[in-house]
Structure 1
Amino acid sequence: MKIDPIRLIFGLKLKQFRLEKGWSLQELSERVNISPSYLNEIEKGKKYPKTEKIVELGRILGKDYNDLVSTDLKTVLGPMGEIMGNKFFTDIPFEFFGINPSDIIGMMVEAPVKFAALINTLIKIGRSYNVSVEKLYFAVLRSYLEIHKNYFPELEEVAENFMPDTEITEAVLKKYLRIEHQISTDLFDPQKKPALAGLRTILLPKKRKLFLNTHLSEKQRLYGLARESGFRHMGIKARPLTSTWVSVHSFDEVFNNFKASYFAAALLVPQQTLVREFRRFLLDSKWNAKRFFQMIDQFPVSEETVFYRLFSILPVHFGLEKLYFLKFQSVDGRPQLIKEIHLVGQHDPQENRNENYCRRWPGISILEEGEERKLKTQISNFEHLGHRYFEISLVKTNADGKKESITLGIEMEETIHSKIAFLEDLKVARKEVGQTCEKCPLFDCRERVAAPSVLYRQRQMNEIQKAIDSLN
């Protein structure tokens, strides 16, 4: 639920005027003949009184009607005026994290100037880094996934109970959409409508028709139909109408799109099957790339979807919780990180837009190799940071002809060898790695593409601090 600035501003003013009189809610209630509970709802921005009650409140508080209803905050609450009208702030889905938007009113009233300074600072930081409301929504969703370890048993159950004992095929899902929801399917040709080339599916609600891109593979069509079936089966209303975001209207749309996508992946890659197959794979004492491909190719989805499903089940079913998922794309010969999720803390391989990622990361080095579809496994040792990770990376070419890599990383803790038997296999490469070239202490690295400038600056600052300390 979005914050309603009109209600919140009215509630802020009413509470401030009441406190100026030194009255409790009960005392104001007795004077104005409004229950304390209803007054409390008004002050929290949940309710908005009728005109006659506003007039009476103004008379009791010694304020004009306009003093109460105007959104111009001229009192000590003045710094909050710009905040309350700022879309960046009012669109934050506080309730998604268990925070009632009205609860922040207390902080506003207690220290409005400091609170306004804090929020304004966050807004300015967001603007400096070009953080739009849409980017905020996706950042919130990503944080939510990390908090829940990217596993949602209620969605798993919904997928398991959808058409049990039925093989999920394109024909089955089309029939389900047509009969159960009166949604027919059609095709659109991106060559005739080039502007739509980046879209896989388009829903036209008024025509009750789902359009599929003619250039989709069989797996992509099936996933698009499964996603649409998820929207329908779960009764989701607030949702995007296209597979790729054209515009974002609310956080509900973003979250519901995630739910439908999760449903589609869980439907097409059932957790019981994936857990059974992956457990067998991990118990083999030898790394076997061919067997890994056989395991992921049995599912009618993309390699990325299977990797993402592994990312979901590893914490719950294998006790491997310290994970990260990275997706790189080669853009003008340079690796660009386009997707990143971390579980249980922020791990060493992470986004850094202003520096050059370590070229020894398997997800980057595999991009520079010529093969169309290849696996690479590696134990990456961030010795200077005190962490080691087992990584599986896969390179593929996307529908636009661009090379992409996906990486599943697992932090190596004491118990990992009892869960992954092939870690001692020499086929699994071992490398010393860094975060970025600019921070890396591996001075003899042949893959380096930039000088360790950040490391030099840090060492210089350390020397300055030592010199200062020696003066004491």
Structure 2
Amino acid sequence: MKPTKNNIKIIFGLKLKQLRQENSLSLSALAKKSGLSVSYLNEIESGKKYPKTDKIAELAYALNVTYDKLVSLKLTRNLAPLGELLESNIFEQLPLDHYGIDINKLIVIMANAPLQLSALVTTLIDMAKSSELSQNNFSRTALRTYKEFNENYFPDLEKAVDLFSRKYNLKSDPPIISSELFKILENKFEYKVDVKKLGEYPELSEVRGLFVPGQKNVLLLNKKLSDPQKAFILGKELAYNFLKISDRSYAYTGSKVDSFDQLLNNLNASYFSTALIINKDKLIKDLKSFFGKKKWDGREFLKLIKAYNSTPEMFIQRLASLSSKFLDLQQFFFLRFNTAIGTNEYSLTKELRLNTNENPGGYQSVEHYCRRWISIGVLKELEEKINKNKKYDKPVIGIQKSQFYNSGDQYLTISIARRSKTIGDNLSSVTIGFLVNEEFKQTINFWNDPKIKIKEVNDTCERCLISDCKERIAPPVAAEEKNKFDNTKIALDKLINEIQN
């Protein structure tokens, strides 16, 4: 990987400091020998400045090394792991600046640490190469944590949506259809929206949309999208413009974005778009009415989603953003699973946990998620319907009380599966699970509907010791290994106690 300009400055600074110390020179002494100021040398060593060629020559002479050795990117053995760390993409995946951490200062601190740190750094690099860290997962996990710290509700974005709606006379009553947002984008923001051009490129059939900047910005939309999906993308484009966001991905695909900033900006635009389409006050009123019913009615829930011209994911995401603040539902999780017909493989592609003890999963787990989850159950049901009727294109909704094997905690989980509009063999499900506690029982009246089945669940097959599980597809190797470790520790403690007494 080609080093960045910033990394070159950091490496040069590390080498300069190491050579100065090897020559037993203080900054003042090197300044006197090279003719450079102490402050300038300090900026070089901290990776903030890179000297011009004549200054490098003076430093090389003062340190009694060749010019080529000084500018070489090769580091000595004890600093080599830091060089590897810089050359890897780890720091690109860590949103350090959002946590107030200066990368240059961090590297300097690490360079001054004991040699044992080299082993830690080398381990980090090996982990990055063998894990999903190199594919944006750290940033996505950091983003999820950011949402959880904010209880998945962002008042500034809600205010921006209200301001936008008033400014452009957007109605608050549902539904908000794509043509309404289309007119605002074209007339107020001078966009050209094209729903045919993408169809001319078969290799882009999976791309939902593409933003092409220019004197007149162009937005290409996939003609296969449903109206709610088109409205969502149009809403995001309005968000990028209204919020003045420039650092963004141009393509609407499932591919990774370039940085944490783009992920955060994508979150803001998505949140804005969903809030724009699904009015907060109207939805809260409708949800309170629905949750006040004594019996669960899946069809009515789907009708509610349709009434807002929303996709299931948009609706569940909006529910998740308002639950804690306005519905007194403080503890819940959100999951999105993807699968392809005929594979029996399920990928957890998005998750959120708010004040829960359970950890239902993680991105790209190498283990097998519990097949008892309603998230996977609705996907299997949808696949069966498609196998019977290849043109089947309706959502499948399910509900169950999921009781976790280890903790005994029970969650009322609602899940909706649907077929992809752009990739016919791909299915996805979105799930929200609320912890069943006293606050929950006060909010959702149908929690004890006898038609809602209770099912014992766990995280993954590998970590589950449920003995009579018919859905199991992998042995409980991780759980058995943990039991073995715990039993060994108990036996050792017992033996030591027996000898000592």
The answer to whether TM tops 0.5 is yes
Contact in 1 for aligned 2:360/2:459 (Cα 8 Å): yes
Query: Deviation at 1:362?
Result: 1.4
Aligned to 1:379: 401
Question: Aligned ranges for residues 268-417 of structure 1 at < 5 Å?
Answer: 268-331=277-340, 332=342, 334-343=344-353, 344=355, 347-351=358-362, 353-369=365-381, 370=384, 372-399=394-421, 400-401=423-424, 402-417=426-441
Aligned to 1:188: 196
Deviates most, 239-248 or 207-216 = 239-248
Aligned to 1:159: 161
Residues paired across the two proteins, number: 470
In 2, the alpha carbon distance for the partners of 1:41 and 1:103 equals 11
Contact in 2 for aligned 1:328/1:335 (Cα 8 Å): no
Aligned to 1:222: 231
Q: Secondary structure, in 3 states, of the residue corresponding to 1:444?
A: coil
Aligned to 1:150: 152
Q: Does 1:259 align with 2:268?
A: yes
What is the TM-score when the length of structure 1 is the normalising length? Answer: 0.86
Change (3 A) 1:274 1:99: farther
Question: Aligned ranges for residues 62-81 of structure 1 at < 5 Å?
Answer: 66=68, 68-74=70-76, 76-81=78-83
Change (3 A) 1:423 1:182: same
In 1, the alpha carbon distance for the partners of 2:80 and 2:482 equals 42
CA RMSD of aligned residues (A): 3.3
In 1, the alpha carbon distance for the partners of 2:102 and 2:357 equals 27
Q: Pick from 459, 462, 481: which aligns with 1:435?
A: 459
Q: Does 1:173 align with 2:185?
A: no
Deviates most, 120-129 or 107-116 = 107-116
Read off the aligned partner of 2:396 and give its amino acid letter.
K
Contact in 2 for aligned 1:16/1:109 (Cα 8 Å): no
Deviates most, 214-223 or 333-342 = 333-342
Q: Pick from 44, 47, 50: which aligns with 1:45?
A: 47
Change (3 A) 1:82 1:441: closer
Q: What do residues 93-115 of structure 1 show as CA deviations (whole Å, max 9, x unaligned)? A: 31123222122123222226433
Deviates most, 283-292 or 12-21 = 12-21
In 1, the alpha carbon distance for the partners of 2:474 and 2:413 equals 24
Query: Deviation at 1:133?
Result: 4.2
Deviates most, 305-314 or 128-137 = 128-137
Query: Deviation at 1:408?
Result: 0.5
In 1, the alpha carbon distance for the partners of 2:183 and 2:293 equals 41
Q: What do residues 428-453 of structure 1 show as CA deviations (whole Å, max 9, x unaligned)? A: 32222222334333323344444444
In 1, the alpha carbon distance for the partners of 2:266 and 2:177 equals 22
Query: Deviation at 1:66?
Result: 4.9
Q: Pick from 33, 37, 44: which aligns with 1:34?
A: 37
Query: Deviation at 1:199?
Result: 1.2
Q: What do residues 165-202 of structure 1 show as CA deviations (whole Å, max 9, x unaligned)? A: 42354344333333343321112266643211101212
Change (3 A) 1:109 1:284: same
Read off the aligned partner of 2:160 and give its amino acid letter.
V
Aligned to 2:388: none
Question: Aligned ranges for residues 120-139 of structure 1 at < 5 Å?
Answer: 120-139=122-141
Query: Deviation at 1:54?
Result: 4.6
In 2, the alpha carbon distance for the partners of 1:359 and 1:189 equals 41
In 1, the alpha carbon distance for the partners of 2:92 and 2:250 equals 24
In 1, the alpha carbon distance for the partners of 2:226 and 2:188 equals 25
Query: Deviation at 1:203?
Result: 2.2
In 2, the alpha carbon distance for the partners of 1:335 and 1:85 equals 34
Read off the aligned partner of 1:185 and give its amino acid letter.
V
Contact in 1 for aligned 2:338/2:428 (Cα 8 Å): yes
Read off the aligned partner of 2:90 and give its amino acid letter.
F
Contact in 2 for aligned 1:83/1:119 (Cα 8 Å): yes
Percent of counterpart pairs with the same letter? 33
Query: Deviation at 1:28?
Result: 7.0
Q: 5+ unaligned residues in a row in structure 2: which ranges? A: 386-393, 497-501
Q: Secondary structure, in 3 states, of the residue corresponding to 1:235?
A: coil
Contact in 1 for aligned 2:81/2:121 (Cα 8 Å): no
In 1, the alpha carbon distance for the partners of 2:14 and 2:195 equals 53
Contact in 2 for aligned 1:190/1:197 (Cα 8 Å): yes
Deviates most, 427-436 or 295-304 = 427-436
Deviates most, 91-100 or 62-71 = 62-71
Deviates most, 286-295 or 193-202 = 286-295
Q: Does 1:244 align with 2:253?
A: yes
In 1, the alpha carbon distance for the partners of 2:32 and 2:160 equals 51
Q: Secondary structure, in 3 states, of the residue corresponding to 2:403?
A: strand
Change (3 A) 1:187 1:408: same
Aligned to 1:11: 13
Query: Deviation at 1:56?
Result: 5.4
Contact in 2 for aligned 1:379/1:431 (Cα 8 Å): yes
Deviates most, 233-242 or 18-27 = 18-27
In 1, the alpha carbon distance for the partners of 2:27 and 2:293 equals 68
Q: What do residues 74-111 of structure 1 show as CA deviations (whole Å, max 9, x unaligned)? A: 37434322222223345533112322212212322222
In 1, the alpha carbon distance for the partners of 2:225 and 2:248 equals 22
Change (3 A) 1:202 1:285: same
In 1, the alpha carbon distance for the partners of 2:137 and 2:484 equals 36
Change (3 A) 1:91 1:337: closer
Q: Secondary structure, in 3 states, of the residue corresponding to 1:316?
A: helix
Contact in 1 for aligned 2:416/2:431 (Cα 8 Å): yes
Q: What do residues 121-178 of structure 1 show as CA deviations (whole Å, max 9, x unaligned)? A: 1221222235434444434433433343333222222222113242354344333333
Q: Does 1:114 align with 2:121?
A: no
Contact in 2 for aligned 1:322/1:345 (Cα 8 Å): yes
Q: Secondary structure, in 3 states, of the residue corresponding to 1:4?
A: helix
